């Protein structure tokens, strides 16, 4: 097959090339209708193609090749140490560009591999997208896997996996399996995801729904959030209501609305819930604040808890020197040595040494020596140790006054 050659700096007008096309640097090709190259189009340095182009393979070396229209490559597009600028749509089987690729129209390929910068103004459809540096897209992205080393700015997404080294901002959409971000993750619109793993800072500015969330540093959700497991290494806040299974927070966590969990809550630091906090098991090492906290199995407070309406679980245990403000309600309530509480309601309530409690209302009450209780009301038995101080009572009442919550 004949080869057509455009010399360095050449100006030509082409419509059809049967065989291969080789183009020297700084050439300009005027296109009659659409340039169709039967073989491989090779560019050595920067050149302009002033119209749409179609070829079997596309290779460029150094410089920037500009295609003023659409570029259709039936096989692979490859640029070594170069960049490609397509003013129209791009279609290829596999795209491998070292420096940069800019596409103003829709783009479609099995794989996009770009070393430096990938910028698209419209939609991009691919099996796999891998960008060493920066990736920006103005339209919808549909792909199986997306990877970028640097920063990523996307609009709507429908992808399986997303892995970004630096920072990413997405408009919203769906990431069916996993999102892994080294640095900073921001979702502007509603988002659904399989899992979210962010090293530094994650911010969900609209409602979101997903599986496990693991954030090393700071997590923020402006609206409602649904999840399975949420683990925050540092600080977290949810502006709306949240529901999920398990929660593990290392530092501080705030939820403005209701917080409903079906599993275990472990807070190493402090948690604040503006409305009701509901779950199965709760352990707080630091401080809990909520309008009410109702857990089906157990609540263990290592530090302090403050509620307006109360704290309720089958088993409530206040650890050594912990402090609770607001009513406590439990089938079994244990106040360990030196802990302090206000009103305590239960079937069985045990107040150990050096505890201070305002009022105990229970079927069975046991108060250890050196403990101080303002008032004891009981319906079954009251075991008050010598040396315990009970200011009023113990008084047997039948039935017991109604419990809160």
Partner 1 sequence: MLNGREGSGTPRRREATDLYATVLEVVKRYHGAARITRVSYGAGMPVDRLRSLVERLVSLGLLKTEDLDGRPVYDITPRGQEFLSTYWKMRGFIEVLEANPEDRISRRRG
The DSSP H or E segment spanning 44 is strand 40-44
- List the one residue from 51, 88, 106, 182 that touches partner 1 (CB under 8 A): 182
167 lies in the binding site for partner 1 (CB under 8 A):
yes
Decide: 22 and 40 in contact? Cβ < 8 Å: no
The DSSP H or E segment spanning 397 is none
**Scanning the structure block, which residue is given the tokens 């300009």?**
28
175 vs 232, beta carbon nearer partner 1: 232
Q: Which two tokens stand for residue 339?
A: 């802990």
- List the one residue from 63, 105, 133, 172 that touches partner 1 (CB under 8 A): 133
Beta strand extents in 199-245 (DSSP E only): 201-204, 208-215, 218-221, 225-226, 229-232, 235-238, 242-244
146 vs 313, beta carbon nearer partner 1: 146
To partner 1, the closest distance from the beta carbon of 127 in angstroms equals 16
To partner 1, the closest distance from the beta carbon of 179 in angstroms equals 14
Under DSSP, is residue 1 helix (H, G, I), strand (E, B) or coil?
Answer: coil
Decide: 192 and 213 in contact? Cβ < 8 Å: no
165 lies in the binding site for partner 1 (CB under 8 A):
yes
Stretch of residues binding partner 1 (CB under 8 A), selected from 11-19, 232-240, 271-279, 298-306: 232-240
- List the one residue from 24, 166, 190, 263 that touches partner 1 (CB under 8 A): 166
Task: For residue 398, count other CB atoms closer than 10 A to its CB.
Answer: 7
150 vs 285, beta carbon nearer partner 1: 150
Decide: 29 and 47 in contact? Cβ < 8 Å: yes
154 lies in the binding site for partner 1 (CB under 8 A):
no
To partner 1, the closest distance from the beta carbon of 163 in angstroms equals 8
To partner 1, the closest distance from the beta carbon of 185 in angstroms equals 10
User: Which residues within the stretch 267-286 sit at the binding site for partner 1 (CB under 8 A)?
Assistant: none
Give me the 188-227 binding string for partner 1, x by CB under 8 A, dash otherwise.
----------xxxx-------------xxxx---------
113 vs 343, beta carbon nearer partner 1: 113
Decide: 51 and 34 in contact? Cβ < 8 Å: yes
Q: Compute the 3-state secondary structure of the chain and give helix, strand, coil in percent, each to the nearest 5.
A: 0, 70, 30
Looking only at the bridges linking them, the beta strands covering 372-384 and 94-97 are unpaired
81 lies in the binding site for partner 1 (CB under 8 A):
yes
45 lies in the binding site for partner 1 (CB under 8 A):
no
DSSP letters of 183-194? SEEEE-S-EEEE
Binding residues for partner 1, total number by CB under 8 A: 37
User: Which residues within the stretch 92-131 sit at the binding site for partner 1 (CB under 8 A)?
Assistant: 98-100, 115-117, 130-131
The DSSP H or E segment spanning 197 is strand 191-198
Give me the 315-354 binding string for partner 1, x by CB under 8 A, dash otherwise.
----------------------------------------
* Rounded distance between C-alpha atoms, residue 36 and residue 104, angstroms: 21
32 vs 81, beta carbon nearer partner 1: 81
48 vs 98, beta carbon nearer partner 1: 98
Beta strand extents in 149-303 (DSSP E only): 152-164, 167-181, 184-187, 191-198, 201-204, 208-215, 218-221, 225-226, 229-232, 235-238, 242-244, 246-249, 252-255, 259-261, 264-267, 270-284, 287-301
152 vs 349, beta carbon nearer partner 1: 152
To partner 1, the closest distance from the beta carbon of 215 in angstroms equals 8
Q: Is 363 exposed, middle or buried (0-12, 13-18, 19+ CB in 10 A)?
A: middle
- List the one residue from 78, 102, 111, 134 that touches partner 1 (CB under 8 A): 134
* Interface ranges with partner 1 (CB under 8 A): 81, 98-100, 115-117, 130-134, 147-151, 163, 165-167, 169, 182-184, 186, 198-201, 215-218, 233-235
């Amino acid at each position: 097959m004949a080869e057509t050659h455009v010399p360095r700096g050449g100006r030509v007008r082409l419509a059809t090339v049967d065989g291969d096309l080789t183009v020297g640097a700084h050439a300009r090709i005027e296109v009659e209708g659409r340039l169709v190259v039967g073989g491989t189009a090779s560019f050595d340095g920067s050149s302009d193609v002033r119209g749409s182009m179609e070829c079997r393979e596309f290779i460029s070396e150094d410089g920037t090749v500009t295609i003023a229209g659409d570029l259709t490559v039936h096989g692979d597009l490859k640029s070594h140490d170069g960049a490609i600028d397509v003013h129209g749509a791009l279609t290829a089987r596999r795209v491998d560009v070292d420096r940069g690729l800019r596409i103003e129209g829709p783009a479609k390929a099995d794989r996009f591999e770009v070393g430096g910068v990938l910028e698209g103004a419209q939609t991009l459809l691919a099996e796999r997208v891998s960008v060493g540096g920066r990736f920006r897209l103005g339209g919808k992205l549909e792909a199986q896997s997306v990877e970028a080393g640097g920063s990523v700015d996307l609009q709507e997404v429908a992808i399986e996996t997303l892995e970004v080294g630096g920072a990413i901002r997405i408009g919203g959409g769906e990431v069916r399996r996993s999102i892994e971000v080294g640095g900073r993750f921001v979702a502007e619109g509603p988002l659904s995801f399989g899992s979210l793993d962010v090293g530094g800072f994650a911010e969900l500015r609209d409602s979101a729904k997903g599986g496990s969330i693991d954030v090393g540093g700071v997590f923020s959700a402006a609206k409602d959030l649904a999840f399975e497991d949420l683990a925050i290494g540092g600080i977290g806040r949810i502006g709306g209501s949240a529901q999920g299974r398990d929660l593990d927070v290392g530092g501080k966590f705030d939820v403005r609305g209701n917080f409903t969990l079906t599993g275990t809550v472990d807070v190493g630091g402090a948690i604040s819930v503006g409305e009701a906090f509901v779950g199965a098991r709760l352990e707080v090492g630091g401080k809990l604040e909520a309008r009410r906290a109702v857990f089906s199995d157990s609540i263990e407070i290592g530090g302090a808890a403050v509620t307006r309406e109360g704290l309720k679980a089958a088993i409530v245990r206040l650890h050594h020197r912990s402090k609770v403000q607001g009513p406590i309600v439990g089938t079994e309530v244990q106040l360990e040595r030196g802990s302090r509480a206000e009103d305590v309601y239960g079937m069985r309530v045990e107040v150990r040494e050096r505890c201070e409690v305002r009022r105990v209302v229970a079927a069975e009450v046991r108060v250890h020596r050196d403990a101080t209780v303002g008032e004891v009301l009981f319906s079954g038995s009251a075991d008050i140790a010598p040396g315990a101080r009970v200011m009023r009572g113990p008084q047997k009442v039948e039935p017991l006054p109604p419990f809160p919550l």
